[in-house]
Amino acid sequence: KRRARSTNYTSEEKAALISIVTEYKNIIESKKTDKVSWEDKNDTWERIGSELNSIAPSGTYRTTDSLKKFYENLKKETRKNAVEEKTEQFKTGGGRSAHKILDPVRETVLTLMNTKTVTG
């Protein structure tokens, strides 16, 4: 049996999620992996889910797991774009580099992430 596909995230939902995650950055992006840290992270994601669902512009209910997955995918995509941008800067050929302009959500995600995970 296939899982029912939920609706795509709107730009308002993305912005709201990133805004809420920014408030809890120290917990969400913590590198600690002990039991207490995992419990804090799970509790924080529950809080994020309830906050987002209470103000959701689209009225679509999002589960905590789907929010976590969406945020992780957004980070992965942002990291990939940052690496491509850095690689493009070091290519030869002269002229101006083709600088990609990130949308505000991805720029914020980039600031939330640990710089070592992005730039190496």
Per-domain boundaries in the chain = 11-114
Is the pLDDT reported for residue 66 higher than 70?
Answer: yes
Q: Is the predicted pLDDT of residue 71 greater than 80, yes or no? A: yes
**Per-residue pLDDT for 111 more than 90?**
no
User: Whole-model pTM?
Assistant: 0.79
Question: pLDDT band at 95, cuts 50/70/90?
Answer: low
Of 115, 118, 108, 114, nearest in space to 22 by CA = 108
Closest by alpha carbon to 47, among 70, 27, 30, 33?
A: 27
- Minimum mean pLDDT range among 50-54, 70-74, 78-82: 78-82
